[in-house]
């Protein structure tokens, strides 16, 4: 399976568009958003500066991009092209395909997190303790698994034509409503209520807790865990259905 | 030879026992029983919709039978694949995009328990020159060769090919079958589905004719031709022609008289011609020719359809 992970990764690294959107794009948005508001300003009730607050948002957004896009579109297209069938004629275990995809997406999502951190530290003077940087990287990276599972599920449910629009709707919907682009506290009440239960909201909240030197809130961890079980279970179920039908 | 223990000679390479597979209301495979033996090169012949692809999918464990059993080397298809005993190339098998031919072949080698060197696999499939090309930039025939390379990346005992020469021109097709014969000469069992009838005739030791999911005929290409009225006799007769006398010729399976020209199909041409002279006839421009497998196949299929309706 390592050989498949390596090849998936080689392919991702060759795909300039994918690399741009997952590794560089979040940092661009970070610079634009954090410059439009004075970086020293505090985001109400969190006590964090805009620059610090947005850093977690955009690092989470970058990781989300890498794992969600990387999985959903490739899987849907490769189911259609028959590559998934071809792999089933090899000794590779069935789950190996999905694991290799997720592993290679995780390798790309790591730099997308770190680049945002570097940009934030270099241009926006974000300063945190060493343990905070490490914990942030670890939590955001691990949390992205929830969205990798979602990507797999979308890949198995969507056809090759439909996968991009579906992914885009889910991607922007989760990013914007979950408060990754702007604090959800600026939303109308009803949207705020929805936002609180979105996985992206809980995801970014984990990182913000670390920035405030707090332990992540149990609710956020629970929300993410429930979504992970839901997405991974859905993905496994759809995968099995697809395997029987193919 | 191989690192795995040789199976007892009684274990068939492939065994289908009363296998049925239905999609909605269509019986794609209908009570199919067959056995393949070690070292055979077998053609699975039939028109589109005969059930060839479903049969191969069942054999490879991509589909599961509604009833009956499928065994490969005495185990389940999946177990045989995991043991590296089966290499397969499907029509519907896609390739990974955005990687080179060499990278993909290396991947296939690394997944096989008894791999060959990637360079050898490339050379044998005749794709060394395009090794650095991106997979999505290949022609149809080149892609087929890459699929063949993936199917032969390791030391498998059974090679399964679904219409392998689709998209190849005549010379590529010949080169392909030469490569394939090497595989068979190394003692492998080869099963290929085709509707190119001349391929079955030229390549296979044994031909299985599939029609509506059932096995219509099983034998050598020569036997199948014989079954359908194997030889075509044509000649001209002068004067009036006694059709009744001609119809009574021994071994005659079809008669067609147009003008002075008589065309006969016979399952024993020698006996038919001998009897023709016995009638006192003087046939001119006598020709005796074998029926192509295609005609034999059409004849068998038509006979079957006539029986059913």
Mutate to test the interface with A, among B65, B106, B110, B166 (most CBs of A within 10 A): B110
Are B5 and B75 contacting, i.e. CB atoms less than 8 angstroms apart?
no
Helix (H) or strand (E) holding B244: helix B243-247
* Cβ within 8 Å, pair B94-A83: yes
Q: For residue B146, give the chain A residue with the closest CA.
A: A86
Enter the pTM of the model: 0.81
Global ipTM = 0.85
Q: What are phi and psi of B179, to 5 degrees?
A: -60, -45
Q: What are phi and psi of B142, to 5 degrees?
A: -65, -40
Helix, strand, coil: what percent of chain A each, to 5? 80, 0, 20
From CA B130, how far away is CA B103, in angstroms rounded?
12
* Cβ within 8 Å, pair B99-A11: yes
Q: What angle in degrees, to the nearest 10, is found between the helix axes of B140-151 and B101-111?
A: 20
Which alpha helices (H) appear in chain A, and where do they start and end?
2-14, 16-19, 25-36, 50-81, 83-87, 94-123, 130-157, 163-177, 189-195, 199-211, 218-245
* Cβ within 8 Å, pair B94-A86: yes
Q: What are phi and psi of B56, to 5 degrees?
A: -70, -40
Mutate to test the interface with A, among B59, B79, B98, B148 (most CBs of A within 10 A): B98
- Minimal Cβ distance to B98: which of A11, A80, A82: A11
**Per-residue confidence of chain B (309 residues) as pLDDT tens digits?**
444 444 445 689 999 999 999 988 888 999 999 999 999 999 998 877 889 999 999 999 999 999 999 999 999 999 999 999 999 998 877 899 889 999 999 999 999 999 999 999 999 999 999 999 999 899 888 999 999 999 999 999 999 999 888 878 888 888 888 888 888 888 899 999 988 777 888 889 999 988 889 898 898 887 776 666 568 899 998 887 788 888 888 888 888 888 889 998 888 888 999 999 988 888 899 998 876 666 666 677 777 677 766
What's the N-to-C CA distance of chain A in angstroms? 22
From CA B303, how far away is CA B253, in angstroms rounded?
12
**Which residue from B153, B141, B133 is spatially nearest to A86, judged by alpha carbons?**
B153
Helix (H) or strand (E) holding B120: helix B118-124
Residue B132 Cα, gap to closest chain A Cα (Å): 14
C-alpha dist (Å) from residue B21 to B53, B86, B191: 12, 22, 20
Query: Strand B214-219 and strand B261-266: pairing?
Result: unpaired
Q: What are phi and psi of B116, to 5 degrees?
A: -90, 170
- Minimal Cβ distance to B112: which of A4, A84, A91: A91
Which residues in B have their CB inside 8 Å of a CB on A? 60-64, 81-84, 86-88, 90, 92-99, 103-104, 106-108, 110-113, 147, 150-151
Query: Which residues of B are less than 8 Å from A15 in CB distance?
Result: 98
**Which residue from B308, B301, B266, B267 is spatially nearest to B195, judged by alpha carbons?**
B301
Residue B216 Cα, gap to closest chain A Cα (Å): 27
């Amino acid at each position: 399976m390592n050989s498949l992970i390596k090849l998936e990764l080689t392919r991702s690294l060759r795909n300039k568009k994918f690399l741009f959107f997952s590794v560089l794009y979040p940092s661009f948005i970070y610079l634009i958003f954090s410059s439009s508001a004075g970086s020293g300003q505090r985001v109400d009730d969190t006590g964090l500066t805009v620059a610090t607050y947005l850093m977690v948002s955009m690092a989470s957004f970058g990781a989300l991009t890498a794992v969600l896009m990387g999985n959903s579109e490739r899987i849907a297209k490769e189911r259609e092209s028959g590559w998934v069938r071809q792999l089933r004629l090899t000794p590779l275990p069935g789950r190996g395909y999905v694991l290799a995809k997720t592993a290679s997406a995780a390798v790309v999502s790591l730099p997308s997190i770190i680049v945002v951190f570097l940009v934030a530290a270099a241009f926006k003077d974000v300063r945190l303790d060493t343990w905070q940087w490490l914990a942030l990287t670890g939590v955001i990276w691990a949390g992205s698994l929830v969205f990798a599972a979602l990507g797999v599920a979308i890949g198995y449910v969507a056809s090759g034509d439909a996968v991009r629009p579906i992914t885009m709707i889910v991607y922007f919907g989760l990013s914007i409503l979950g408060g990754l682009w702007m604090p959800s506290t600026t939303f109308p009440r009803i949207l705020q209520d929805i936002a609180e239960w979105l996985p992206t909201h809980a995801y970014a909240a984990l990182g913000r807790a670390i920035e405030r030197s707090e332990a992540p809130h149990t609710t956020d961890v629970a929300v993410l865990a429930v979504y992970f079980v839901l997405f991974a279970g859905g993905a496994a179920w759809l995968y099995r259905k697809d395997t029987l039908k193919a | 030879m191989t690192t795995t223990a040789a199976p007892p000679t009684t274990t068939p390479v492939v065994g289908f026992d009363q296998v049925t597979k239905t999609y909605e209301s269509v019986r794609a495979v209908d009570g199919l029983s067959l056995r393949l033996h070690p070292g055979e090169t077998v053609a699975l012949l039939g028109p589109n919709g005969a059930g060839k692809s479903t049969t191969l999918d069942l054999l490879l464990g991509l589909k599961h039978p509604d009833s009956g059993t499928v065994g490969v080397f005495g185990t389940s298809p999946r177990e045989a694949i995991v043991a590296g005993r089966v290499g397969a190339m499907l029509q519907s098998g896609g390739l990974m995009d955005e990687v080179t031919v060499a990278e993909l072949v290396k991947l296939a080698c690394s997944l096989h328990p008894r791999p060959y060197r990637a360079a050898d696999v490339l050379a044998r499939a005749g794709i060394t020159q395009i090794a650095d090309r991106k997979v999505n930039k290949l022609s149809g025939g080149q892609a087929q060769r890459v699929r063949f390379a993936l199917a032969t990346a390791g030391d498998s005992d059974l090679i399964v090919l679904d219409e392998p020469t689709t998209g190849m021109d005549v010379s590529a097709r010949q080169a392909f079958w030469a490569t394939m014969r090497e595989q068979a000469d190394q003692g492998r069992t080869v099963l290929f589905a085709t509707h190119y009838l001349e391929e079955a005739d030229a390549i296979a030791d044994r031909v299985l004719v599939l029609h509506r999911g059932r096995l219509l005929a099983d034998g050598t290409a020569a036997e199948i031709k014989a079954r359908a009225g194997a030889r075509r006799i044509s000649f001209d007769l002068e004067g009036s022609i006694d059709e009744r006398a001609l119809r009574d010729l021994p071994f005659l399976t079809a008669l067609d008289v147009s003008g002075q020209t008589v065309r006969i199909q016979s399952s024993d041409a020698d006996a038919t011609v001998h009897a023709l002279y016995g009638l006192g006839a003087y046939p001119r421009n006598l020709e005796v020719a074998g029926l192509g497998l295609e005609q034999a196949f059409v004849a068998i299929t038509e006979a079957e359809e006539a029986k059913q309706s």
